[in-house]
Amino acid sequence: MAERALRGTRLGATSYENDRNTDLAPRQEVDYTCGKGHRFTVTLAAEAEVPMTWECRSCGATALRVDGELPQAKKGKPPRTHWDMLMERRTLEDLEEVLAERLEILRSGRRRTA
């Protein structure tokens, strides 16, 4: 009998559960405003840590919490360049020596085979 009751109902596509007699988790609503004046509300769990910034739903800019202040920018390390990484491995004298060797090979016309 159960097979006949479910025949043709697209199993998995539709849920037969309902929200009656279900306690939802406590929630809080947080208001955000972006620089272009868009104001929107985000619903979060009551125990969740509320972020100071959120992406604006209208324009994609960074929105700030209405009752918050702009977070302090973190100090980061400057990006390392190829030259910085090279100088960690070699000294200027080593580099000048390698350059002199390579120039000598190029000027003599012979190729170095590996």
pLDDT the model gives residue 21: 77
Q: Which residues of 22-47 are buried (b: 16+ CB within 10 A; e: fewer)?
A: eeeeeeeebebebeeeeeeeeeeeee
On whether 33 is known to bind a ligand per the annotation, the reply is no
Global pTM value: 0.47
On whether 19 is known to bind a ligand per the annotation, the reply is no
On whether 34 is known to bind a ligand per the annotation, the reply is yes
pLDDT the model gives residue 98: 94
CA 58 to chain centre: 20
AA identity, residue 66 = V
Token reading at 46: 């009551």
> Which H or E element spans position 27?
strand 27-34
15-71 pLDDT per residue, tens = 777 777 778 889 999 999 998 889 999 999 999 999 988 999 888 898 989 887 766
AA identity, residue 14 = T
On whether 82 is known to bind a ligand per the annotation, the reply is no
pLDDT the model gives residue 67: 84
Q: By three-state DSSP, how is residue 77 classified?
A: coil
